[in-house]
Amino acid sequence: MGQQIVNGLFLGSIYALFALGYTLVFGVLDILNLAHQAVFMLCAYVALALVVHLHLPMPIAFPLAVVAGGLLGVVVDRLAFRPLRGRSDSNISGLISSIALATILEALALQFFGPDVERFPFGIVPDRSLRLGDAVISELQLVIIGIAVSMLAVLTWVLRRTTLGRRIRAVAENPVAARVLGVNVDRVIASSFFVSSALGGAAGVLFGLAFNSVSPDMGRTVELKGLAVIILGGMGSMPGAAIAGFALGLLEVFTVAKIGSSYRDAVAFGVLFLVLVVRPRGLLGPAALREA
Amino acid sequence: MRLVSCSVAAAIALLAHPAAAAETVKIGAVFSLTGNAAAYGAQQKAGVALAADEINKSGKLPGITLEVVLEDDGTSPQQGISVFDRLINMNKVSAIIGPTLSTLAEAADPRAQAQKTPVVAVSNTKPNAITTIGDYIWRVSLTEAQVIPSAVDIARKKLGFKTAAILYGNDDAFTKAGFDVMKSSLEKAGVQILGIQTFSTKDRDFNAQLTALKGLKPDVLLVSALVEQAGSIAVQARQLGYTGPIMGGNGFNSTKFIQLAGPAAEGVLVGTAWNRASLDPVNQAFIAAMKARGVDPDQFGAQAYTGVLVIADAIRQAGLKGGRDDIKAGFAKVKDLPTPLGKFSFLPSRDGDHPAAVQIVKSGKFEILE
């Protein structure tokens, strides 16, 4: 029982980390970036390459990979979204072009790294663990949960209290009005992509470390779950995404424990469906839907 | 003295079958010598060459010389098919050994079946396939469905487990088939199955399933997974503090598993078709002869070697005739043939039948559980 709560919180923190970046551009800016999972995957490979080939220790490789993720996010924006911005159908065409970019990035990863699952070298992170009653929690798991919670706090603060946050919210509300008021819309969106993809990249590296597996298709598992978490939490709500991430993690784990693993995704998405029907704005979504 | 009696026997054979005196029976050997599966092909090539040389020197087939025509399938179905066509129509081989992979066999074997040329599969392990292509296709290598029941039996005798839990991938044909065999072998052996959990091929987190199974306190944990996930499962099971034995399906039967699981691989059990540690003189002689040629033999070498022995025995059973239909008819009579794999016979399904063994990971290497 105790162990399953630990398992659920840990899995949930991975979902939350992935969804935080996802929801920054989707929930706030209304851009669904389906290349997010490719950034997630590529950052894990960047960290792996830094550790294996340049023999960098993890505390240095991790921030470097996160910055690489941010830069990659800017590239994704430039290639897949910016050329289409301002068109009447830019939401759908951007969605499609981001799928295209994700596919291309995945194919490149397949070409460079091969289809085999790779893992970080043994002992790259300390292999210590803590016992809480009958539950075991590793130091890495604690660090990951900690990072997820602190990222949430930082992001909420950035969005609510900083100039960049105000600009992002202004662009989200009305890009034309924001532009009239002197906000460089393209730049704000690019910064959002940087932050979003840096978070996605961080999630990718931690995922690869936590589950000892880095492969070109690793982003696929989390992609749909991340989307579910955003909707469950309420579009654009950072705390909502985090709470929903942990809730989904716990829900999945307890479905496995109490009902059976074959029903895990059915129960998780069934609950998502119910939430959409009963409470369309999600757990912490804005009370009134924004006008289109 | 032995040499004299041998040559006398050969002389008598020469007199008795003057027409057969110079007969050369060509055997095609199609292996993946380049491409993804090249690591297996090198072993198979060495095994076949050794067996043919030994048979030719031994005089077991008086008046007949085996000639191996080696071809590379490049780990590609297209190349496999063209190589099969060339061996069947140009080289006029009497039988073909290979190809290395099941996917290539499914592409190329129908060519041999259509031309009534016997094929001996020495490394294809896909269950309920390959030999179903037709009555000219025979198989030496044990399938997953054959290895797991004996492996479970051997492990149960050694470890004495009474209860078990199973974790398997339920959206992959190979891992699902492995699970079905595991479940039925456990039931047959009277082992109580406490719990069953599943995962999907994209999963990387198995903590929830493993925690649930660990809570049932099984004597052994059986896992049917592909190698990519096998590593993570072993690592996560050990992290959660499961200390009991783990037994894997054929997906674990790879050094890649040890590489991915690292220290967590220690003590993991996997079934295998070749008992390297068998003290049977045929096996010991095989290992010594391979080492004398600078090759450290593995399962693939042993199976390829056995493939040639089986063809030679079929020729003998057919009355020292090396035609395509003679060899096919001879296969059916192969019974308890001494090979490095143990006493070898064919089942009515044309699949091989011989004892299996269990490997255990010790200090980062597979060893036979004794």
Specify the length of chain A in residues: 292
Does A290 map to a domain?
no
Output the CA angle A103-A107-A109, nearest 5 degrees: 115
- CA dihedral A221→A223→A225→A228, nearest 10 degrees, is -160
Q: Which of A141, A128, A127, A133 is nearest to A3 (CA)?
A: A133
Among A78-87, B280-289, B334-343, the minimum mean pLDDT is found in A78-87
Please answer whether residues A244 and A148 qualify as being in contact, where contact means their C-beta atoms are separated by less than 8 angstroms: no
B206 → chain A, closest CA residue: A211
- Which domains occur in chain B, in start order? 2-142+277-355 (3.40.50.2300), 145-272 (3.40.50.2300)
Q: A120 in contact with B at a CB cutoff of 8 Å?
A: no
Smallest CA–CA distance, residue A97 to chain B, in Å, is 24
Q: Check: CB of residue A140 under 8 Å from CB of residue A125.
A: yes
The Cα–Cα gap between A254 and B293 comes to 57
Distance CA A61, CA A57 (A): 6
Is the per-residue pLDDT at B11 higher than 70? no
**How confident is the model over B143-167, as pLDDT tens digits?**
878 889 888 999 999 899 999 999 9
Structural domains counted in chain A: 1
* B264 vs A: CB within 8 A: no
Say whether pLDDT at B18 is over 50.
no
Contact criterion met (CB below 8 Å) for A183 and A171: yes
Query: Which one of A3, A18, A129, A136 would you mutate to disrupt binding with B, by most B Cβ within 10 Å of its Cβ?
Result: A3
Would you place residue A261 in the very low, low, confident or very high pLDDT band (cuts 50, 70, 90)? confident
> Is residue A249 one of the residues assigned to a domain?
no
More confident position, A215 or B331: B331
SS3 of residue A66 by DSSP: helix
With a cut of 90, say whether residue A271 has pLDDT above it.
no
B266 at A interface, C-beta within 8 A: no
Residue A5 lies in a domain: no
| Residue A52 per-residue DSSP state | H
Residues from chain B contacting residue A220 (CB–CB below 8 Å): 202
* Mean pLDDT, chain B, integer: 89
pLDDT score, position B20: 45
Which has the higher per-residue pLDDT, A288 or A233?
A233
State how far the Cα of B45 lies from the Cα of B31, in Å rounded to an integer.
Answer: 7
Q: What is the pLDDT of residue B1?
A: 46
Widest distance between CA atoms in chain B: 75
- What does the pLDDT read at residue B209? 93
Report pLDDT for A169: 86
CA–CA gap between residue A148 and residue A12 (Å, rounded): 9
Residue numbers in A near B227 (CB within 8 A) = 117
State phi, psi for B216 to the nearest 5 degrees. Answer: -80, -10
**Per the domain annotation, does A134 fall within a domain?**
yes
Average the pLDDT over A265-270 and give the result: 87
C-alpha span between B362 and B277 (Å, rounded): 14
Task: Identify which of B218, B208, B206 has the alpha carbon closest to the alpha carbon of residue B244.
Answer: B218
* pLDDT the model gives residue B7: 54
Query: Does the complex come out with an ipTM higher than 0.85?
Result: no
DSSP states of A156-184 as a string?
HHHHHHSHHHHHHHHHHH-HHHHHHTT--
Q: Quick check: A17 pLDDT over 60?
A: yes
| B129-142 pLDDT per residue, tens | 899 999 999 999 99
User: How far apart are alpha carbons A54 and A57 in whole angstroms?
Assistant: 9
Q: How far apart are CA B42 and CA B45, in angstroms?
A: 5
Q: Is A237 among the domain residues?
A: no
The answer, for B232 touching chain A at a CB cutoff of 8 Å, is yes
pLDDT tens-digit profile of A92-107? 888 899 999 999 998 8
For residues B340 and B274, the answer to whether their CB atoms sit within 8 Å is yes
Judge whether residue A143 has pLDDT over 50.
yes
Residues of B in contact with A207 (CB under 8 A): 204
Q: Which of residues 140-179 of B touch A (CB under 8 A)?
A: 170
Assign A259 to helix, strand or coil.
coil
Structural domain for A110, as ranges: 14-221
Give the bridge partners for A135, in sequence order: A132
Nearest to B211 among A3, A119, A138 (CB): A3
Q: Does A221 touch chain B (CB under 8 A)?
A: yes
3-state secondary structure of B339: strand
**Confidence tier at A287 by pLDDT (50, 70, 90):** low
With contacts defined as CB-CB under 8 Å, which chain B residues touch A213?
Answer: 204, 228-229, 231-232, 260
The yes-or-no verdict on residue B342 having pLDDT over 90 is yes
Q: What is the mean pLDDT of residues B262-272?
A: 91
Size of interface A-B (CB pairs under 8 A): 76
Q: Is residue A245 part of a domain?
A: no
* 3 state SS for A25-50: HHHHCCCCCCCHHHHHHHHHHHHHHH
Give mean pLDDT, residues A189-205: 92
Q: CA A14 to CA A19: how far, in whole Å?
A: 9
Residue to mutate among B166, B179, B228, B243, with most A CBs inside 10 A, is B228
CB atoms closer than 10 angstroms to residue B132: 13
Check residue B22 and give its pLDDT. Answer: 65
Distance CA A104, CA A114 (A): 14
Which residues of chain B does A4 touch, with a Cβ-Cβ cutoff of 8 Å? 208, 211-212
| pLDDT digit string, tens, across residues B181-198 | 999 999 998 999 999 999
Instruction: Evaluate if residue B200 carries a pLDDT over 70.
Output: yes
Is residue A289 domain-resident?
Answer: no
pLDDT attached to residue A202: 92
